[in-house]
Amino acid sequence: HPHSRPRHPGARTMLPLLLLLLPAAHGVAQLGYRPTLTPSPPLEGLTTASTFVLEQPRCVFQDYGNAVIWLVVALDQATSTFNNTAGPGTPETAFQSFPDPVRAYMTLNATLGSYPCPKPAGDITVLRVGSETSCAQDVTRPTCNGPLPGPGPYRVKFLALEGSNPVAETAWSAQIMLRTAKSPNSISTTGSGHSAGMIAITTILSILFAILLAGLVAMLVFWDSDSCSGSSTFSKPESVTVRRYNTHHVYDQPAARL
């Protein structure tokens, strides 16, 4: 058309590029599930100095039966920069390089069959993160579920991969802090009222025990000096003579005369 404007020369190349970026931007489904620490911990504690216990993502990835579900563990400040396309088992996500330079690693891969929905009766529905010590330094096992290197805070999410392509992910969890052992220097010796009461009771008992011990020693000394001075006389008991009687039976005696 004589009055139509000429098309911008870059528009022809930008359209295919946008079409390529569109699946990458919207290819990962954002699930509403948020990982949480289990409300009912197993025999061990909910958190330790190097581990924590998560609820399994049951009934979360039901539409992705062919996917492998991975757990992503990240430093709190690294969640916004985590790259979903960084594959598990690569130097970019290896546990042995966490937390520096790797800021987030991938571990605990499982298929959907490991998270059946609904939960069968008697099933254990928790994941202990940080429980493998044997592979912590083994670079040939970059997806090791090794002990956490510090108290955190950490955040986690579950990511489903079909092959090497991410297809679905959960939200990031809330901050997870691990326990820290108290330094002996940080333990107050004055303590609370309960500690002061215990100290007072211990002191009183010690004083009473000392008094009792002193009394026993004094009694022993008195008895020893008394026996050495001869003030106590011991009379020899009189000998008792027992007269011996011969018993005669009736048939040994002569018959009584009438």
- 81 assigned to some structural domain: yes
Least confident interval from 26-40, 95-109, 122-136, 157-171: 26-40
- 233 assigned to some structural domain: no
Residue 219 has what pLDDT? 81
- 196 assigned to some structural domain: no
- 130 assigned to some structural domain: yes
How far the first Cα of the chain sits from its last, in Å, is 182
Please write the tens of the pLDDT for every residue from 81-138: 999 999 999 999 999 999 999 999 999 999 999 999 998 888 889 999 999 999 999 9
Domain with 92, as residue range(s), is: 26-180
pTM: 0.62
- 170 assigned to some structural domain: yes
- 5 assigned to some structural domain: no
- 121 assigned to some structural domain: yes
- 78 assigned to some structural domain: yes
In three state form, how does the secondary structure of the chain look? CCCCCCCCCCHHHHHHHHHHHHHHHHCCEECCCCCCECCCCCCCCCECCCCEEEECCCCCCCCCCCCEEEEEEEEHHHHHHCCCCCCCCCHHHCHHHCCCCCCEEEEEEEEHHHCCCCCCCCCCCEEEECCCCCCCCCCCCCCCCCCCCCCCCEEEEEEEEECCEEEEECCCCCCECCCCCCCHHHCCCCCCHHHHHHHHHHHHHHHHHHHHHHHHHHHHHHHHHHHHHCCCCCCCCCCCCCCCCCCCCHHHCCCCCC
Q: How many domains does the chain have?
A: 1
